[in-house]
Every structure is written in structure tokens, then in C-alpha cells.
Amino acid sequence: MNEFLQQFNLHVDLAIEARDLVRGATGQEIQGVEEQVEKMEQIKITTITIKDPQAVPIMGRPLGTYVTIESPPLKINDPYVKDEIIQAMSKSMTILLNNRLQPKDIVLLVGLGNWRATADSLGPKFIEYSPITRHYFQHAPEALVEGMRPVSGIAPGVLGITGLETFEVIKGVVDNVKPAVLVVVDALAAQNVDRIGNTIQMSNTGIQPGGGVGNARHSLTEQELGIPVIAIGCPTIVNAAIIAQQAIKNFCSVSNTVFNDMFATNSIKDTLSYFGGDLAVTPKEVDEIIENTARIISMGVASSLFPGISREQLELYAT
Amino acid sequence: MNEFLQQFNLHVDLAIEARDLVRGATGQEIQGVEEQVEKMEQIKITTITIKDPQAVPIMGRPLGTYVTIESPPLKINDPYVKDEIIQAMSKSMTILLNNRLQPKDIVLLVGLGNWRATADSLGPKFIEYSPITRHYFQHAPEALVEGMRPVSGIAPGVLGITGLETFEVIKGVVDNVKPAVLVVVDALAAQNVDRIGNTIQMSNTGIQPGGGVGNARHSLTEQELGIPVIAIGCPTIVNAAIIAQQAIKNFCSVSNTVFNDMFATNSIKDTLSYFGGDLAVTPKEVDEIIENTARIISMGVASSLFPGISREQLELYAT
Amino acid sequence: MNEFLQQFNLHVDLAIEARDLVRGATGQEIQGVEEQVEKMEQIKITTITIKDPQAVPIMGRPLGTYVTIESPPLKINDPYVKDEIIQAMSKSMTILLNNRLQPKDIVLLVGLGNWRATADSLGPKFIEYSPITRHYFQHAPEALVEGMRPVSGIAPGVLGITGLETFEVIKGVVDNVKPAVLVVVDALAAQNVDRIGNTIQMSNTGIQPGGGVGNARHSLTEQELGIPVIAIGCPTIVNAAIIAQQAIKNFCSVSNTVFNDMFATNSIKDTLSYFGGDLAVTPKEVDEIIENTARIISMGVASSLFPGISREQLELYAT
Amino acid sequence: MNEFLQQFNLHVDLAIEARDLVRGATGQEIQGVEEQVEKMEQIKITTITIKDPQAVPIMGRPLGTYVTIESPPLKINDPYVKDEIIQAMSKSMTILLNNRLQPKDIVLLVGLGNWRATADSLGPKFIEYSPITRHYFQHAPEALVEGMRPVSGIAPGVLGITGLETFEVIKGVVDNVKPAVLVVVDALAAQNVDRIGNTIQMSNTGIQPGGGVGNARHSLTEQELGIPVIAIGCPTIVNAAIIAQQAIKNFCSVSNTVFNDMFATNSIKDTLSYFGGDLAVTPKEVDEIIENTARIISMGVASSLFPGISREQLELYAT
């Protein structure tokens, strides 16, 4: 699989899919990787911790903790599912933050992605729906409620920033505002269309270059920024090369043909022409899916950052 | 092929691809369909005329004329290619209009599509770049230049219209404003990624339900509206089911396997899960492609509607 | 006063201000005009009915009923004030509709005004916050709730319509969709800055040319459209000529100088230079005021069109 | 005048108006302030240099150079006027930059202001029309033309930044990107409606708190940022208190009444109610004026930053 991904310059964004790919090959547990599964009524929470440096190249991502919240397909609009997801997100934030965030600490929310590309707008939408409070602390503290902390938000991919790297803008803000923690939300690519809008990943390893729909160029990590970075994402696309490969594999399976990697890769290169790995597969109603997912993620993060404050109250502080 | 398309509820938007599919099967010319090819230095213009009602179900589209302008891949930014396309569009408009547009007649431009879905924004962008003059005729005629005609534009898919069918809005405007001709631009789906941003189709048969990226519900045709309707489109997506099928066919060809329709269809249904035919394949830089194509199409239409007026002059009348 | 208004081509949008101007001159009740005042806890509702054609030129507006809802200054964010306004709007809609709207009748909402001019964006914002249901009736009736009616919305002043008169678009929609009633919302000009964001006017006489911030060119009235037109507006600006005149009058009063119309008019013309009556006075935070007022108006209209359905429920049907 | 301005918390943004106010009182030249006037065919360029610290409180702005480019009223669309302004801006930039910008140095463009408030959108529009090149230097140098320098742009007031001070974002970018020079564009308030859209001010003293339409909170100056800051602005509003005062003064003059400051101030406070100095006077067509002025300013700045590269060429690098 790794060679196939390399052929099209692809990245496996979801840790849980990387684990499936590795296990798929060996059929065994992965040395140096711990896993815990929790089932709630509707959703399933898998916590994958990469502990051993030897597992890093195998899993294709850094040491750290990766929480995956999977909701039943087509049910993400269900209020009970939503509630479970928000609860799960809040609990996972606590684990990932690991006591490094104090009640009055400043948090900076970052929404990566591009308003112009619909499948890439999850980050900016997340910022739009998140309660923002820091300006009240500075200019109108009477508008705040007991128990709030200062939270700022930025969506660097929107109009208004040109000729600047997202990383330069974020680092600049971090250096000046000095938040205790960065929470960054980005749209991801999955290996399977079933995961679109359905799988929320949260990790304490930040964003690596080459990942995400927009193909981040810089790392947004604790090493680079000096503060913990919680990265949250949800797939909105699947790469066309992956879909093509799955179709060929399924065909071989159903028609009892031997699947040949090289033939498959060449056939797919032919089909995808000069676009190669630059073709994304998205549902026609992706904007609804993103709208929905952005709301849930913002409520999940907010419920963790503002414990004890009701959702109705928090909504007054969103844009 | 037809059964495959039906399985996923797909429509072949480009007449030239429908022709290839039909000819592919029979290997022969299609009875009741005339074809003319013209090669310019860079581009190729194919005019397909469906003359015989018997050819209508075979071609899957109404009687009429379909002009296809194909530009060499990756060269659509080339100024020489652009100039040839604009020339070709202008000539084709004349043929399609067939003397039914007089110099002072009102023309209504319609840009179908949805601002929120990037791959579907070709129509609204076309309206944005088109010179609009009718309000000057009404309120500031001194701002006009000799040789202009009144042209209005509307992009119904933008924010601001809800609970109304695009068709209802357009018909209402046509009934009140009484333009002599309607020119409607829409994003299309191709059968081949090579055609994305590269193939402009112009016809005098309007827009049929089920066609286009947004899946138009009503016909925008001369029958329904009472005036000639020139439809112009360019593919911005390929359906994922088509990509998957191509990949399987290529694999079979390369590995000397027999291609089996039923196995292929089932494999693809499996891969595409509950989304089925609702998954679109688009290039990551689709917004650039659309920007570019919208500009060229607007210049092509404008050069036909305002003959003898320079492009610099015309640009002053765009939004 | 009339000569002053004519000098700067001004229009008195609020019936209650026209009444004050007329009464101010005569000191008496106006022949042919009836008035009723109702005081709720926070707000005051004045219903002015122009019954006699002779009063039409005096009041500067057509025969009909004009309801003015005045809220205490700076309190329009107060939830109790909001509730009273919504109640009052609902009651007034019933009076203005006068039994001409049946439970299942279609209603078309129109938001006049221009997204690009902040002070003129009340109409488009109103559409954005209004529950829209007609498309569910057509395509997904299971998404509806008992007791709903089909409601569509259109904000013609947004991007996407050029070279067309707002009136042409609206008439076209009315002709095709055949709503039973039109509800149109527009930003108004007041004679007094105190009324900005504070005074909601509702009438059954539609919109006249020359009125509103955008200076409507056509009438949107029952005569022109064939259905009842309920016009709702709230001032967002005061004309600069009016402010200047008030300042001079106040100065004369305080300094015991005789106020001279001609001197005042000439001084103001001098101050306003070539702009004349085209200068608007708005608060710096006008976008907040409009946000707020648009929400209240949409809730007031919705509570009248969808009696018995809760606000939380209705909000699910807004854009 | 100073007391009047203080009463309404007003700021004189244009140095040339501050000079008029000071000179108006004394009738003489201002000690410590040098002035040079140059007349071109259509426009007039006044260079005011505040040299003596004693003149700082009198002029109400820091030591430095202030260039004012005045175009004849209603002629700013005239191509000859445009050309002269662009020339004058280019020359003035050279003077203000004072040899501190080398040919390959990075420049950061900042557009202050708020997209949502029309009169405040000059800055963001300026960024929209400016050629931006730095990303080509980093990722596609072959797309550049001989003689270009790296230029980035940012409009912090647009959606996407909340709970952060504009200053924090800009300082962060300056710290990380290390441009040699900052050019910041902002909408200003004038004392006279004649100057709206007509008067371009350029200075090397940056932006002070309290100035501009949006009332900047922080200084964007060389002291704070460590690099030269060229501030460019054009008035889009006049404060309503100023208009009211002018009207009263004119009335007194025409009616031979003695103008009394206290009476005037109280009359105006009465007229402006609780809004006080927060009311802006803008022309109804302010969005056109801003569109126009933003284009001219961006061409003026670009012609200085990219000498020898044609306007057509430069336009290819704007958003």
C-alpha cells in the first residue's frame, strides 16, 4: 500500500486507517502502539497511542495520542448521536490536554482551510461557530459569564491574506498573544467514503506537512510553536486514486482475478491523466455535511474549554 | 454503457461524449446525426447536428445543434488559445442564433449554479465577468457606446432566493423583461478528466432536467420559455462511478482480464457505498480552472453580443 | 417643511413622523386620519389609518393602515422588549392581512436593499433569518411540521442580478408562483436619530417609489401586483440635510435667534456641497443594529405566518 | 475648534485640514512646520513636514512628512486625473521611503478596516487590487517578471479573526516575515464632504490610535514595529457633529448672527442624541467611491514598488 500511496503522493490522515492498513498486512497488533476502545450507545471511541519510536515510520505519524470518534453512518444529524459525540470530544480533550491548560489560560482556535474550496472549508466554519471571548476580557468584561476563559480564533485561509504562509501568520499570533494551547481544525482525506462526515479524529501531535485536504506545508506542532497543539479533523474527501484502487480490488475479488499492484497503478495513472493524485472525490452535498460537522466540533471544543456553561449561553458568543 | 449510467443515475452532458459512446458501440456513423469538424491552429471545433427524431433517444438529447470547442490540455491559459476560443465561440453563437437576434434586441444572461459549491460556480462567475448594459439604456444612456445592445444578467443560485425554483425566477424575468434570446451557462459533468476546463459546449437546445452539475429540475428551453435558448457549458467534474469504471476497464485491458459489466457495477456500488452516483471527482485547483473558464466564456459571449466593441471597452461594463 | 424636503429631494418614510410634521404645523388632528394608541409594558403601538382621499396629499402617502411599534431607546436587545415587539407585530399582521390569508396560502417574502451598502442591508438580512418552507412542500414534505404553510423568500438586491429592475424580478416571481400575499421588508430613513433601530413600521400600502434608503423606483403595491402587499420597515439612517436643519433650529431656539427657512436651506446646501440630499447619517455600529432588527422582524413575521409553532422549531427552517 | 472636537471625541485625520484649522485661528504660518506645494495639470500636491517637537501638539500628530494629493471634485474617474495621481503617489512614496527600501526587499501591505462596514472597506479593497508576489518567490519563481520584489498583503479586519487585536496579528506577521517596509491603507474622516474620495494622504508616521474610520486602538508606527511604516488614506466619511457645526456656522454667517460655541455644541448634542460623535455622514454611492479610490491607491503603490513594470502586467498579480 505504501508504494501505491507514494505513486500518487498521498497521505493517510486518519490514524485509525493507518492502523488498519498496517494490521491488514501483518494481521497482528502493532509493536509499540497501544489501543483502547470504548463503546457508547451510538458512537465508538478508539484511542491509539504510539509509544515507541520504532512504530513511528510504520504508522507514518509521530509519537502521541490519537482519539477517533466514529458515529454510525447517516446518523450524524441525530441529536442523541450529537450529544454523545460532544461528550466524547470533551472527555478526549481533557485526556489530550493532560493538565496543561489552567482555568484562566488563553486558548487560540485555528481553522485551517480555504473558504473558496467547499470541501476545505471545515476549519473556517468551525471558527465561525465557536464562542470567542478574549475581546470581552479586554474591552467589555461585564459581558462575560462566570467561569469563562479568554478564547481567540483565526481562520488564516480566508480572503485577506496573500503572499503569506499560514504558518507565518499563526506563529506571529502565538508569539504575540501567548496562548497556553492551540486547537487547530482541518478537513482530512479518508481512505473510505463511509468516513466522510462521520469520523472525528483528535490528537496531541498537531498538523504535519502534507496532511489535510489543503496539504499543509508547515508543521503546526508543539516543537515549532512551543505550546501544546490539539489537532482535530474530519474527512470531507477521498482521493480519486484510492477510490479507483478500491474499485479494482473489489472487481478482482468478485471476478476471481488476481489483483496486480503494478497493473492497477498504471491503469489508475491512465484514468487520472495529468491530474494524478490531485483529484478529490466529494459528495454533492458536501457543504451540508461540513456545516453539520463544523457545528458539532465547535460544540465539542467549547464544552471542553467552557465547562459548566450551557450551549445556549455559549452560542451568544459565537460570531 | 446506458445500463451503467442508469445504475448510478448519470447523465452524459457532452454531446461529443454521447457520440463517442454510441459510435464506440457500433463503430459507425450515427443515422440522423451530421457532423462537421474544423481545426484552427490550437483548437478543434466539432459541430454535431441531430436532425432525425430517431436519433434523439440514441444520442440522449433533443434535435438541434451542438458545437464543441476543444482546447489542447493544460493550455487554456495560453493567450493564443484564448483568442481562438473566443473567435470560435463568436462564430458558433452566430450559427446557433440563426438570425433570430437583431442588433438592438435585449439579451438575458443566466448563470446557473451554486456559489457555495465550488465546482458548481461556473455560471455565477460567468455573470460576474459579463458586460451588463441594460440599466444604462434605462437610466444613463450617455454611458453607452455606439453599437451596444441591452444585456441583463441573473445568477439565481446565489444567496437570496429560497423556496423558489430557479426556473420560476427565470421564467418570471423572461415574461416581464421579454428578452429576444436567453444565454444560459452551467457547469457540466464529463466522462473523462481530460475534459475538465478544456471543452466548451454550445447548443441551441437549452438545458434539460437532470443535466449539469447541479442537476437542473426544469427545462430551460425554447418550448418552455418562448424564446431561443443558447446553452453553454464546460465540465468541472467527472462522476466517481465513471472514474471507477474506467479504472476497472483499464485494469482488465492491461491484465488481459475479461471486463464484466455486472461485476464492475457491483464492485463500484460497493466502493461508493450509500453515496452511489452522488460523488463528484474534481481537481484540487478547480476554483482556478473555473475562474479561467468563466472569463473566457464571458468574453466569447460578449464578443458575439457586442461585435466591434473592444475587450478593454467591454470590461468596463462587467460588475 | 415640505419645501425643505423638496429642496433636497427627501421623502418622509415613517407615517408617524409625517403625522408629527403635519400636526406640528396645524397643532390639530388631521382631517380624514384616524389614530389609535396602545401601550404595552415597554413598547407603544400607534395605528394610523388614512381614510379620506383628501388626507392623502397632506400625509404624503396612500389610503391605508400604518402601524408603528416604538421601543424604548437602547433597549431593543432586552428580551422582554423583543417579546412584546414580536407579539405586537403578530397582532398587527393579522389586522393588516384582514382575513385575506388562508392557512395553507403561499407567502412570498421580499427583502429589498443592497448587501454592499451596510445601512441598506436590512431586507436581505431579514430573508436570511426567516423560516422558508416552500421547497419542503415540493420536495421533502416529511421535513415539515403540522400547521406550516409554504413560504418563499427573495432578496433581489444581492449580487447576481444586474441590468434588471427589482420590480421586474419580483413581478415575475409573483406571476409564476402566485403567492396569496407579499411581505416586503426595507430599510427606511427617519427624521430623527432616536428612531434608528427603534421604530418598526408595518403597513398594507406597499412600497412607493422614492421611499426607503435605496429609493425604490417602482411601486410594490396591490395595484401593481394583484395581491395584498404588507410593507415592513425600520429606519437605519437619517438624511444629513435633516440633521443639519435640526441643529440650526436647536441653535436658534437656544440662542433666541429667529429661524429663517431660506437662510437655513442655503447654509445646508453650502455644507452638503454637490452631494445635496445624497448624504446619509448612520451610527458607526449600524451593522449590529441591523443584525438585531432583522432578527426581530423575521421572528415577528414568522410568528404571524406560522402561528402555534415555537421559535426554536422555526429557526431550523431559516437559511 | 479643539474643544468642539473633544466634546464629540473627534480626531482630525488629514494633516492638511489640521493645518487649515490652526492657520484659520492664527492666520499665520505654523512655527516648526514646513510646507511645499506643487501643481500638476489637474491635481495639487502639498507636502507638510512637521520638524519641530513644539509643533506636534499644535498639529495633533507626530513629527514627520505628510503628503496630500488633491484631485478636482467629481473628476477622480477621469483617466488623466488618475494618471497624475498615480505619478504623484509614486514620487511621494520615494520621498517618504527615503532610500530605506532596496530593490529586492520584502514589503508587507496592510489594509485596515472592516468588510462589513461599507465606508470602512477601503483597506480590504486596496489589498484585493494590489499585485502580490511573495508566494511566487517561494513556490513558483518562473511566474515572476524581471524587476519584481516580494510583496505580501493582509486585511486583518475581514472575517476570520476574532478575539485578536489587529495590531497583534500585524506585529506577529512583521516579526516572522521581516518585511523591510509596511504600507498600510485606511479609510479616513474628513472635515468637509468635498474631500470624500478626493484627497489622498500619504505619510511616514504610521497610524495613531483614535484615527481612521474604525478608530484604530494601537499605533502602527516605526517605534512599535521596528520598520518604516507608510500610511495612506482617503476620507470616506465626515462626522455628523462636524456637518452640524458647519451648517450652524454658515447659518450664522448668512443671517448675521453671532456664532456661539457653547450654544452650537449643546444644539448639536441635542440633535445627535445618545449617539454623540458616533454618527458618520457618507454619500449613498460610497461603495462606488471606495471601489474607485482603492484601485487608484493600489496602482499608485504598485507603480512605486514595481517600477518599470506595466500596469497590465501588474494586474495579473492582483487577487
Collect all residues of chain A within an 8 Å Cβ-Cβ radius of residue D133.
Answer: 163
Collect all residues of chain A within an 8 Å Cβ-Cβ radius of residue D114.
Answer: none
Q: Please state the domain count of chain C.
A: 1
Q: Does B132 touch chain A (CB under 8 A)?
A: no
Task: With H, G, I as helix, E, B as strand and everything else as coil, classify residue C242.
Answer: helix
Grid cell, residue A235, equals 474527512
| pLDDT digit string, tens, across residues A195-245 | 999 999 999 999 987 666 766 667 899 999 999 999 999 999 999 999 999
CB contact (8 A) between residue C279 and residue D283: yes
Collect all residues of chain C within an 8 Å Cβ-Cβ radius of residue B151.
Answer: 163
| Strongest mean pLDDT among A3-7, A225-229, D217-221 | A225-229
Q: Are strands D199-203 and A107-111 parallel, antiparallel or unpaired?
A: unpaired
Collect all residues of chain B within an 8 Å Cβ-Cβ radius of residue C171.
Answer: 172, 176
What's the pLDDT band for B315 if we cut at 50, 70, 90?
Answer: confident
Q: Which of D220, D234, D205 has the alpha carbon at shortest distance from D294?
A: D234
Q: Are strands D229-239 and D181-190 parallel, antiparallel or unpaired?
A: parallel
CB contact (8 A) between residue B127 and residue C156: no
Cα angle, residue B114 at apex, residues B112 and B117 outer, rounded to 5°: 135
Q: How far apart are CA B251 and CA B247, in angstroms?
A: 6
Q: Any contact of A with D, at least 3 CB pairs below 8 A?
A: yes
Q: What percent of chain A has pLDDT over 90?
A: 72
| pLDDT digit string, tens, across residues D159-191 | 456 888 888 899 999 999 999 999 999 999 999
Q: In the block, which residue shows the cell 440662542?
A: C255
- In what helix (H) or strand (E) does residue B234 lie, and over which residues does it extend? strand B229-239
CA–CA min distance D131, chain A (Å): 10
Grid cell, residue A271, equals 484514468
Q: What percent of chain A has pLDDT over 70?
A: 94
Collect all residues of chain C within an 8 Å Cβ-Cβ radius of residue B172.
Answer: 169, 171-177
Nearest to B154 among C111, C161, C176 (CB): C161
Task: With H, G, I as helix, E, B as strand and everything else as coil, classify residue A202.
Answer: strand
pLDDT for residue A76: 67
CB-CB contact of C96 with C81 (8 Å): no
Q: How far apart are CA B141 and CA A300, in angstroms?
A: 58
CA–CA min distance B287, chain C (Å): 18
CB-CB contact of C291 with C298 (8 Å): no
What's the pLDDT band for A159 if we cut at 50, 70, 90?
Answer: very low
Nearest to C158 among B159, B172, B173 (CB): B159
pLDDT for residue C161: 63
Is pLDDT of B120 > 50?
A: yes
CA–CA min distance A165, chain B (Å): 18
Cα angle, residue B225 at apex, residues B224 and B228 outer, rounded to 5°: 110
Dihedral angle computed from the Cα positions of residues A46, A50, A54 and A59, in that order, rounded to the nearest 10 degrees: 50
Helix-helix angle C79-97:C286-305, to 10 degrees: 50
Neighbours of C257 (CB within 10 A): 19
Q: Does B158 touch chain C (CB under 8 A)?
A: yes
Q: How far apart are CA D238 and CA C243, in angstroms?
A: 13
Q: Which of A277, A290, A313 has the alpha carbon at shortest distance from A117?
A: A290
Q: How many beta-carbon contacts under 8 Å exist across B and C?
A: 113
Q: How far apart are CA A115 and CA A121, in angstroms?
A: 5
Q: Does B116 touch chain C (CB under 8 A)?
A: no
CB contact (8 A) between residue C160 and residue B162: no
Q: In the block, which residue shows the cell 465557536?
A: A130
**Average pLDDT rounded to a whole number, residues D95-101:** 96
Q: In the block, which residue shows the cell 505654523?
A: D30
CA–CA min distance B105, chain C (Å): 14
Q: Does D281 touch chain C (CB under 8 A)?
A: yes
Q: How far apart are CA C234 and CA C223, in angstroms?
A: 24
CB contact (8 A) between residue A161 and residue D153: yes
- In what helix (H) or strand (E) does residue C231 lie, and over which residues does it extend? strand C229-239
CB-CB contact of C110 with C170 (8 Å): yes
Tell me which chain C residue has its CA closest to the CA of residue B123.
C160
Tell me which amino acid residue B224 is: E
C156 to B70, B155, B319, D228: CA distances (angstroms): 36, 11, 16, 46
B195 to A148, A152, B119: CA distances (angstroms): 54, 44, 14
CB-CB contact of C202 with C181 (8 Å): no
**Average pLDDT rounded to a whole number, residues C115-142:** 88
Domain assignment of residue B201, given as a range: 2-315
Of residues A223 and B285, more confidently modeled: A223
Burial bucket for residue B313 (CB in 10 Å: 0-12, 13-18, 19+):
middle
Nearest to A193 among B192, B279, B287 (CB): B279
| pLDDT digit string, tens, across residues B174-217 | 999 999 999 999 999 999 999 999 999 999 999 987 666 766 66
CB contact (8 A) between residue D280 and residue C279: no
Q: Does D264 touch chain C (CB under 8 A)?
A: yes
| pLDDT digit string, tens, across residues D14-60 | 999 999 999 987 778 899 999 999 999 999 999 999 999 999 999 99
Instruction: Round the average pLDDT of chain D to a whole number and report it.
Output: 91
CB-CB contact of B238 with B189 (8 Å): yes
Q: What are phi and psi of B120, to 5 degrees?
A: -105, 10
CA–CA min distance B155, chain C (Å): 5
Q: Any contact of A with C, at least 3 CB pairs below 8 A?
A: no
CB contact (8 A) between residue A177 and residue D161: no
Q: How far apart are CA C79 and CA B232, in angstroms?
A: 52
Collect all residues of chain A within an 8 Å Cβ-Cβ radius of residue D128.
Answer: 159
Burial bucket for residue A270 (CB in 10 Å: 0-12, 13-18, 19+):
middle
List chains adjacent to chain A, taking adjacency as at least 3 C-beta pairs closer than 8 Å. B, D
Q: Does B127 touch chain C (CB under 8 A)?
A: yes
C294 to C82, C122, C299, D120: CA distances (angstroms): 12, 6, 9, 22
Burial bucket for residue B290 (CB in 10 Å: 0-12, 13-18, 19+):
buried
Picking from B138, B162, B224 by the largest number of C CB atoms within 10 A of its own CB, the best residue to mutate is B162
CB contact (8 A) between residue B169 and residue C168: no
Q: Does B10 touch chain A (CB under 8 A)?
A: no
Q: How many beta-carbon contacts under 8 Å exist across C and D?
A: 140
Tell me which chain B residue has its CA closest to the CA of residue A266.
B251
Q: How far apart are CA C93 and CA B303, in angstroms?
A: 51
For residue C240, the domain's CATH number is: 3.40.50.1450
- Touching C: D residues 220-249, CB under 8 Å: 240, 243-248
Q: Which residues contact D79 (CB under 8 A, 6 or more apart)?
A: none
Q: Does C57 touch chain B (CB under 8 A)?
A: no
CB-CB contact of A293 with A76 (8 Å): yes
Residues D238, D242, D244, D250, CA torsion sign: negative
Q: Are strands D199-203 and D229-239 parallel, antiparallel or unpaired?
A: antiparallel
Beta-bridge mates of residue C46: C37, C68
Is pLDDT of D282 > 60?
A: yes
Q: In the block, which residue shows the cell 474617474?
A: D77
CB-CB contact of D15 with D59 (8 Å): yes
Side-chain-side CA neighbours of residue B239 (13 Å): 28
Q: How far apart are CA D207 and CA D62, in angstroms?
A: 10
CB contact (8 A) between residue B176 and residue C176: no
CA–CA min distance C21, chain D (Å): 17
Q: Does C124 touch chain B (CB under 8 A)?
A: yes
Q: Does D271 touch chain C (CB under 8 A)?
A: yes
Helix-helix angle D122-129:D286-305, to 10 degrees: 50
Q: How far apart are CA C115 and CA C92, in angstroms?
A: 28
What is the interface pTM, i.e. ipTM, of the complex? Answer: 0.91
Tell me which chain C residue has its CA closest to the CA of residue D195.
C273
Q: Which residues contact B173 (CB under 8 A, 6 or more apart)?
A: B108, B152, B154, C164, C168, C169, C172
What's the pLDDT band for C195 if we cut at 50, 70, 90?
Answer: very high
Tell me which chain B residue has its CA closest to the CA of residue A73.
B274
pLDDT for residue C20: 93
Is pLDDT of A279 > 60?
A: yes
Phi-psi region of A273 (alpha: psi -120 to 50; beta: other; left: phi over 0): left
| pLDDT digit string, tens, across residues A49-106 | 999 999 999 999 999 999 999 998 777 678 899 999 999 999 999 999 999 999 999 9
| Strongest mean pLDDT among B151-155, B177-181, C1-5, D77-81 | B177-181
Instruction: Round the average pLDDT of chain C to a whole number and report it.
Output: 91
Burial bucket for residue A36 (CB in 10 Å: 0-12, 13-18, 19+):
exposed
Q: Does C273 touch chain D (CB under 8 A)?
A: yes
Nearest to B173 among C128, C158, C169 (CB): C169
Q: What percent of chain C has pLDDT over 70?
A: 94
Neighbours of B36 (CB within 10 A): 10
Q: How far apart are CA C129 and CA C124, in angstroms?
A: 9
What's the pLDDT band for C118 if we cut at 50, 70, 90?
Answer: confident
Q: Which of D12, D59, D57 has the alpha carbon at shortest distance from D34?
A: D59
Beta-bridge mates of residue A153: A109, D162
CB contact (8 A) between residue D248 and residue C246: no
Q: How far apart are CA C318 and CA B162, in angstroms?
A: 10
CB-CB contact of D171 with A176 (8 Å): yes
Task: With H, G, I as helix, E, B as strand and everything else as coil, classify residue D303.
Answer: helix
Please report, in angstroms and rounded to a whole number, the separation of the first and last CA atoms in chain B. 43
Q: Which of C231, C12, C279, C211 has the alpha carbon at shortest distance from C126?
A: C231
Of residues B24 and B81, more confidently modeled: B81
**Average pLDDT rounded to a whole number, residues B138-153:** 90
pLDDT for residue C211: 65
Collect all residues of chain A within an 8 Å Cβ-Cβ radius of residue D174.
Answer: 172
Is pLDDT of B78 > 60?
A: yes
**Average pLDDT rounded to a whole number, residues B220-237:** 96
Beta-bridge mates of residue B235: B188
